[in-house]
């Protein structure tokens, strides 16, 4: 159960980073 919560937070962080990188590419 703890691993699931940890995995979810890591996945969210990765999505946030990828989303930010995509936003920068679109602006460039």
User: Which portions of the chain are predicted below pLDDT 50?
Assistant: none
Rounded Cα gap, residues 24 and 4, in angstroms:
30
> Residue 9 is inside which H or E element, if any?
helix 2-27
Predicted pLDDT of residue 12 = 98
Write down the residue that tokens 């996945």 correspond to: 11
Predicted pLDDT of residue 27 = 81
Predicted pLDDT of residue 5 = 96
For residue 4, CA distances in Å to 14, 15, 19, 22 come to 15, 16, 22, 27
Please give the structure tokens belonging to residue 16.
């946030």
Please give the structure tokens belonging to residue 1.
């159960």
């Amino acid at each position: 159960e703890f691993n699931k919560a940890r995995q979810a937070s890591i996945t969210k962080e990765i999505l946030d980073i990828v989303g930010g990188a995509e936003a920068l590419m679109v602006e460039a």
